[in-house]
């Protein structure tokens, strides 16, 4: 799989950190898009949900998605994911996170 540099359009490899043509840092390019993933409604235990979040973040590092909309429900998973996101924010691995509008069962994570 390949992607194109958003700055100059040059084809780049997924594991490439910097564009060969314009030197833009590919890892922080974003296209303003969002993905929505439900991590709480397939009988996940809390640690399954946390693992899903970790895998998602690794996956999304290699594309240009700006926002991750997490469906977390209103129980223990939400509490644990909120705690986890707080730690990620502290380490600057995400830019911010907030409840998604008036929907308390969803969290909008600003990745880049």
- Going from the C-alpha of 22 to that of each of 14, 32, 37, 41, 98, the distances in angstroms are 16, 21, 33, 43, 34
State which residue, 20 or 76, has the beta carbon closest to Zn ion.
20
CB of 16: closest distance to Zn ion in angstroms?
Answer: 10
Distance CA 30, CA 28 (A): 6
> Between residue 4 and residue 63, which ones bind Zn ion under the rule CB under 5 A?
5, 7-8, 10, 19, 21-22, 24
- The nearer residue to Zn ion, 6 or 89, going by C-beta atoms, is 6
**Chain positions contacting Zn ion, by CB under 5 A:** 5, 7-8, 10, 19, 21-22, 24
């Amino acid at each position: 799989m390949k992607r194109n540099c958003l700055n100059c359009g040059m084809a780049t490899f997924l594991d490439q950190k910097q564009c060969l043509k314009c030197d833009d840092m590919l890892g922080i390019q974003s296209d303003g898009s969002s993905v929505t993933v439900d991590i709480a409604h397939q009988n996940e235990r809390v640690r399954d949900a946390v693992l899903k979040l970790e895998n998602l973040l690794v996956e999304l590092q290699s594309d240009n998605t700006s926002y991750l909309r997490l469906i977390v429900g209103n129980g223990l998973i939400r509490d644990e994911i909120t705690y986890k996101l707080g730690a990620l924010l502290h380490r600057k691995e995400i830019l911010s996170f907030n409840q998604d509008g008036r929907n308390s069962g969803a969290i909008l994570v600003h990745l880049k």
